[in-house]
């Protein structure tokens, strides 16, 4: 099992990995969760898949087991910035505007984590190991990008996995029912884990 952080600058070094990541996202979000998201050529994508973002893939022998997208909160592309902020600004009809207790940050030291998934094809016996590898790679990559914090809209069960992974996370918004369950915005403090 490997973890790879992809960017537009290094995609050419990793063959089909980025396409396979987008295919796995389609399987997870469109096929399994039945979310209404853009797709083309068997891949899920959206307006945040830009050169400003990074993608973390947990993979084994060409199969993507899990993935995450990281986007700086300073990103802009046309009218869009990053998912949580755009939802708060009313640009995304499927995500409520009242996700946060305060205004969404725009700060070079804060990155957003989105499109987090563990593939349903990942055997149950390996899920915890795959999830842990994905979270550790997320924290490491974000720190390398200069982030001191990550914000995410995640399942409201976040205290279970953040504690298990040794992350310092705090709720930054109320719990909200979205599509298929309860979700909540959290901030993950990476400064305590800096070496």
**Does position 160 have pLDDT exceeding 80, yes or no?**
no
pLDDT (mean) for 97-108: 96
pLDDT in tens, 40-93: 999 999 999 999 999 999 999 889 999 999 999 999 999 999 999 999 999 998
What is the pLDDT confidence band of residue 112, given thresholds at 50, 70 and 90? very high
Share of the chain above pLDDT 90, in %: 76
Question: Would you say domain 2-193 falls under CATH 3.40.630.30?
Answer: yes
Tokens of 158: 């976040």
Q: What is the mean pLDDT of residues 94-120?
A: 95
Judged against a pLDDT cut of 60, whether residue 195 lies above it is answered with no
């Amino acid at each position: 099992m490997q973890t790879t952080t992809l960017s537009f600058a290094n995609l050419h070094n990793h063959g089909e990995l980025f396409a396979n990541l987008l295919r796995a996202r389609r399987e997870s979000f469109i096929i399994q969760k039945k979310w209404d998201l853009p797709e083309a050529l068997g891949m899920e994508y959206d307006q945040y898949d830009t050169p400003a973002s990074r993608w973390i893939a947990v993979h084994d022998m060409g199969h993507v087991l899990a993935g995450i997208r990281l986007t700086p909160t300073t990103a802009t592309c046309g009218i869009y910035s990053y998912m949580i902020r755009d939802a708060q600004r009313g640009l995304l009809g499927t995500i409520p505007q009242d996700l946060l207790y305060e205004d969404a940050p725009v700060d070079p030291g804060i990155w957003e984590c989105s499109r987090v998934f563990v593939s349903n094809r990942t055997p149950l016996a390996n899920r915890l190991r795959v999830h842990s590898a994905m979270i550790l790679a997320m924290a490491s990559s974000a720190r390398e990008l200069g982030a001191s914090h990550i914000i995410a809209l995640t399942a409201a069960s976040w205290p279970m996995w953040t504690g298990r992974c040794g992350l310092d996370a705090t709720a930054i918004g109320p719990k909200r029912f979205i599509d298929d369950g309860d979700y909540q915005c959290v901030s993950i403090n990476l400064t305590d884990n800096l070496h």
